[in-house]
Amino acid sequence: MADGHGNGIPGEKRLRSRAWFDNPANPDMTALYLERYLNYGLTREELQSGKPIIGIAQTGSDLSPCNRHHLVLAERLREGIREAGGIAIEFPVHPIQETGKRPTASLDRNLAYLGLVEVLYGYPLDGVVLTIGCDKTTPACLMAAATVNIPAIALSVGPMLNGWYKGQRTGSGTIVWKAREMMAAGEIDYAGFVDLVASSAPSTGYCNTMGTATTMNSLAEALGMQLPGSAAIPAPYRERQQIAYLTGKRIVEMVAEDLKPSDILTKDAFINAIRVNSAIGGSTNAPIHLAALARHIGVPLDIREWQEYGHDIPLLVNLQPAGEYLGEDYHHAGGVPAVVAQLMKQGLIRENALTVNGKTMGDNCRGATIEDENVIRPFERPLKEKAGFLVLSGNLFDNAIMKTSVISQEFRDRYLSNPNDPEAFEGKAIVFDGPEDYHHRIDDESLGIDEYTLLFMRGTGAIGYPGGAEVVNMRPPAYLIKRGILSLPCIGDGRQSGTSGSPSILNASPEAAAGGGLALLKSGDRVRIDLRKGTADILISDEELEARRAALGADGGYHFPGSQTPWQEIQRGIVDQLGNGMVLKPAVKYQRVAETY
Ligand code: FES
Ligand code: MG
């Protein structure tokens, strides 16, 4: 380090942290940059020795209980980083608690993204550990690492232990839907409702169901962004702390190898993730987050590719809400590598995709075995065929997705059983403008909702309800539930919780608030959905559609409630549609920004 350049190793790339801590061209600033990082005990020798500075992007806090265990895991991360020759610097990421943030946690995905981009870009960091877990923390962290493109590795917090209630597994999130039905049907009272819900969240960690958290953590591994086998280890298990240590060691090596997100997040990686998403029964939020990640790393990924690559993949993982089991069972059965190995045998995995451990997806997962075939099924004996998403379009929207594998037999018999018109159904639309409108009116018998009605929810996309509300899956009116009608087709421009098993048509883009066809729909209209053709249309003439559009007024728009905070207003002005990843449009052009330092 005689010249203050280099890392002391001839031929090695200069670490970007040297621009702060060891810049002979600017000794004044070097002193200033060094000074405050010395005042809690780091020495000048450490900071100028050429050791890589590794950020720990800490998403855990008292406000974000799902990720709070990362405060503990960070200790083992630090030990791994230190042992491999790095210096750990931990810093907070804007908290995003799925079950705590009003009006919706997804409003903050892009805010946490922006904040993390600024930290990774503007501070002396050579690499970063992304502490992922709760639903939106995973995409927020990955998106920021993609934009900045410094070496980055993800560490899951791990799922909670299995929930139990009276001898039955209770899954976090999923149990809420069941408990609501039970309370609506008068089977439990309010205290019973709370007890049942709380039983599903028995420990630290992310949701133990195949909701958005298990989905996104599994996909972070399928994308190659975390160590193989690490996504599914339950938070309280000793292996979780052990993998934290190994993750800390590995990021230091990644900096030396200059292994960056752009080397890992290739088109092949996204195709692998889409296929794994189908096989695990992944959340309908995954297309939104993967679209965002692809746009920030600069990989073209069209929403229709979810159908092209993913629709025909069978469901292998038997986790709630589609199946029976929970996170601990998934881990014991072999987790993500066992699923990938099943798909590999069918030639469905791009095996050469590189991962954070420097090896390929194929090398990491070849030979991984299923340890419990009740929980992870072999490809030849799936739980369901065609577990991926259909992508629909028509005069209602340009694109929306549907998870057809969750359509129940009862639902199929009711709607999709006409032999002359297979996979299609028509019905009368009842339209709700946002969740409050729905809650006010759903049980009003004068709406005339019957078992052939289609429920529509609009005003709930990224603009209409800032961040997009998880409200499209609507329970039928109580009087229908009492008659045994447990679900109606639901269609909307919002999202659906990954822990819900409803066969809804979701993420409709453009949303009503952006002038999409849903803004033109009126209660009482006939609507036709054809799953075979992939269409969704209001059955009225083009002239009538145009007349309705004209009647919406000079601003062309559907009206929605105002913003309550500055960020809601800022994001509404610049956010893209759910089908395009709900990214901040001006952010996408900034790629590989660390190259400017
Ligand atoms: Fe945080 Fe499900 S609410 S992981
Ligand atoms: Mg959710």
* 363-418 per-position pLDDT tens digit: 999 999 999 999 999 999 999 999 999 999 999 999 999 988 777 788 788 888 88
CB neighbours of residue 36 within 10 Å: 9
Confidence band (pLDDT; 50, 70, 90) for 13? confident
> What's the pLDDT at 556?
62
- For 242, phi and psi rounded to 5 degrees? -65, -40
Angle at 207 between CA 201 and CA 208, to 5 degrees: 85
Tokens for 22, please give them: 């060891």
Helix ranges (DSSP H) in 462-539: 478-482
Average pLDDT for 559-572: 93
Name the H helices within 450-541.
478-482
Contact 263, 354 (CB under 8 A): yes
- The structure's pTM equals 0.95
Cis peptide upstream of residue 261 (ω within 30 degrees of 0): no
Give the distance (Å) from ligand 2 centre to CA of residue 70: 20
Whole-angstrom Cα distance, residue 494 to residue 207? 21
Given a contact cutoff of 8 angstroms between Cβ atoms, the answer to whether 400 and 578 are in contact is: no
pLDDT value at residue 567 = 97
The alpha-helical segments, DSSP class H, found in 506-576 are 542-551, 566-574
Cis peptide before 586 (omega within 30 of 0): no
Lowest mean pLDDT among 121-135, 285-299, 558-572: 558-572
Which of 109, 135, 197 for mutating ligand 1's site (highest number of atoms within 8 Å of CB)? 135
**Alpha carbon of 236 to ligand 1 centroid (Å):** 16
500 confidence band (pLDDT: 50, 70, 90): low
Mutate to test the pocket of ligand 1, among 67, 134, 174 (most ligand atoms within 8 A of CB): 134
Residue 82 CB-density burial (10 A; 0-12 exposed, 13-18 middle, 19+ buried)? middle
Q: How many CA atoms lie within 13 A of 444 on its CB side?
A: 10
The number of C-alpha atoms within 13 Å of 149 and in the hemisphere containing its C-beta is: 18
CB neighbour class for 500 (10 Å; exposed up to 12, middle 13-18, buried from 19): buried
pLDDT score for 501: 59
For the cut 90, the answer to whether the pLDDT of residue 506 exceeds it is yes
The SS3 assignment for 88 reads: strand
User: Which residue out of 106, 172, 326 has the highest number of ligand 1 atoms within 8 Å of its CB and is therefore the one to mutate?
Assistant: 172
- pLDDT of 451 higher than 70: yes
pLDDT at 174: 82
Cα torsion 275, 281, 284, 286: sign? negative
When pLDDT is cut at 50, 70 and 90, the band that residue 178 belongs to is confident
Question: CA 593 to CA 597: how far, in whole Å?
Answer: 8
The pLDDT tens digits of the residues spanning 119-149 come to: 999 999 999 999 999 999 999 999 999 999 9
Report CA-CA distances (Å) from 112 to 20, 57, 59, 102, 499.
Answer: 24, 11, 10, 15, 23
Mean per-residue pLDDT over the chain, rounded: 93
What count of other Cβ atoms lies within 10 Å of the Cβ of residue 32?
Answer: 11
Q: How far is the CA of 221 from the centre of ligand 2 (A)?
A: 20
Pocket of ligand 1 (CB under 6 A): 66, 98-99, 134-135, 172-173, 206-207, 211, 213
- Name the residue with the closest Cα to ligand 1, atom 2: 207
Binned at pLDDT 50, 70 and 90, residue 11 comes out as low
In angstroms, the CA 379 to CA 346 distance is 8
Residue 6 confidence class, pLDDT cut points 50, 70, 90: very low
pLDDT at position 9 over 60:
no
Lowest mean pLDDT among 35-39, 305-309, 320-324: 320-324
Helices assigned H by DSSP within 60-211: 70-83, 109-122, 137-148, 174-184, 190-198
Ligand 1 pocket, mutate which of 63, 69, 99, 161 (most atoms under 8 A from CB): 99
501 vs 147, higher pLDDT: 147
Backbone angles phi, psi at 583, to 5 degrees: -75, 160
Query: What does the block give as tokens for 290?
Result: 């993967």
Confidence band (pLDDT; 50, 70, 90) for 173? confident
Q: Which of 12-26, 339-353, 489-503 has the lowest mean pLDDT?
A: 489-503
Dump strand ranges (E) for 419-519: 424-433, 453-458, 490-492, 505-509
Distance CA 518, CA 556 (A): 13
Q: Which atom of ligand 1 is nearest to the CA of 172?
A: 2
Given pLDDT bands bounded at 50, 70 and 90, which one contains residue 498?
low
- For residues 251 and 258, give the distance between their C-alpha atoms in angstroms, rounded to a whole number: 10
Average pLDDT over residues 154-170: 95
| pLDDT tens figures, 357-366 | 999 999 999 9
Among candidates 457, 454, 465, which has minimal Cα distance to 429?
Answer: 454
User: Radius of gyration (Cα) for the chain, nearest Å?
Assistant: 25
If you search the block for the tokens 């913003």, which residue do you land on?
563
Mean of pLDDT values over 76-91: 98
Structure tokens at 79: 């030990």
Q: Above 90 in pLDDT, residue 295?
A: yes
How confident is the model over 43-64, as a mean pLDDT?
97
Q: How far is the CA of 499 from the centre of ligand 2 (A)?
A: 7
Residue keyed to tokens 């981009």: 117
Ligand 1 midpoint to CA 172 (Å): 8
Q: CA–CA separation, 527 vs 243, rounded Å? A: 51
pLDDT digits (tens, 9 = 90+) for 224-270: 999 999 999 999 999 999 999 999 999 999 999 999 999 999 999 99
pLDDT for res 521: 97
Q: What is the pLDDT of residues 97-116, one digit of tens each?
A: 999 999 999 999 999 999 99
Strand 399-403 relative to strand 389-392: parallel, antiparallel, unpaired? antiparallel
Specify whether the CB–CB gap between 132 and 142 falls below 8 A: yes
For residue 64, the ligand 1 atom closest to its alpha carbon is: 1
Distance from C-alpha of 148 to C-alpha of 262, rounded to nearest angstrom: 10
Predicted confidence at residue 110, as pLDDT, reads 98
Q: Which ligand is nearest to the CA of 467?
A: 2
CA of 136 to the centre of ligand 2 (A): 8
Ligand nearest to the CA of 133: 1
| pLDDT given at position 12 | 62
Closest residue by Cα to atom 1, ligand 1, is: 134
ipTM of this complex prediction, to 2 decimal places: 0.93
* Alpha carbon of 499 to ligand 1 centroid (Å): 10
* Centroid of ligand 2 to alpha carbon of 376 (angstroms): 24
Per-residue tokens: 96: 């995003």
**pLDDT over 50 (residue 1):** no
The closest alpha carbon to 461, from 510, 412, 394, belongs to 510
Q: Percentage of the chain surpassing pLDDT 90?
A: 85
Residue 502 has a pLDDT of: 66
Which atom of ligand 1 lies closest to the CA of 499? 2
424 DSSP β-pair partners: 530
